[in-house]
């Protein structure tokens, strides 16, 4: 089924798109937000694979760095803010495209967690996108 550009623009303007509509300048970002989200989800799938491979090889996530993940095939992109919390043998990741209208997604390796083993849209969405694309690893306790 094809949807006309006018229909999509109407849905964004009338319905507010993926959030409050602040002006015409945000219109292109809101129209393409689903594409940004698809890229973020694909990036998280790649990251989850790299993290799992790293953990299996190293035996734990102690000492994990973003640089070490490059050796397992994942590098941060220039449009996504990624935070990785690690604790011994598990991790939790939250990522969001920095453009207006993009959703935040998460993934966890902790069994029984809300996003355990599956990339999901975060239940609570931030009011605005991250200010810049970053990739950060944070040692944590109690994931």
Write the pLDDT tens digit of every residue in 60-70.
999 999 999 99
pLDDT, tens digit (0-9, with 9 covering 90-100), for 96-107: 999 888 999 999
* Whole-structure pTM value: 0.75
* pLDDT (0 to 100) of residue 29: 55
Instruction: Please return the burial class of 74, using the count of CB atoms within 10 Å of its CB with bins 0-12, 13-18 and 19+.
Output: buried
The crossing angle, in degrees rounded to 10, of helices 5-15 and 27-58 is 90
User: What is the Cα 111 distance to its own chain's centre?
Assistant: 20
Alpha carbon separation from 129 to 77, 97, 101 (Å, rounded): 15, 7, 8
H helix intervals, the chain: 5-15, 27-58, 66-70
Q: What is the distance between the terminal CA atoms of the chain, rounded to a whole angstrom?
A: 43
Please give the C-alpha separations between residue 75 and each of 13, 68, 138, in angstroms, as whole numbers. 35, 9, 17
Q: What is the token pair recorded at 65?
A: 């760095």
């Amino acid at each position: 089924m094809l949807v006309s550009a006018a229909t999509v623009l109407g849905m964004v303007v009338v319905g507010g798109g993926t959030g409050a509509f602040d002006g015409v300048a945000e219109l292109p970002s809101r129209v393409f937000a689903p594409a940004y989200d698809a890229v973020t989800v694909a990036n998280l799938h790649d990251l989850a694979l790299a993290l799992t491979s790293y953990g299996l090889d190293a035996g734990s996530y102690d000492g994990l760095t973003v640089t070490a993940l490059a050796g397992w095939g994942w590098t941060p992109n220039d449009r996504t803010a990624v935070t990785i919390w690690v604790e011994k043998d598990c991790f939790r990741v939250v990522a969001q495209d920095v453009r207006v209208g993009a959703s935040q997604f998460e993934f966890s390796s902790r069994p029984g967690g809300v996003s355990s083993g599956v990339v999901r849209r975060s239940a609570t969405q931030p009011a605005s996108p991250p200010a810049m694309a970053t990739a950060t690893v944070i040692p944590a306790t109690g994931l």
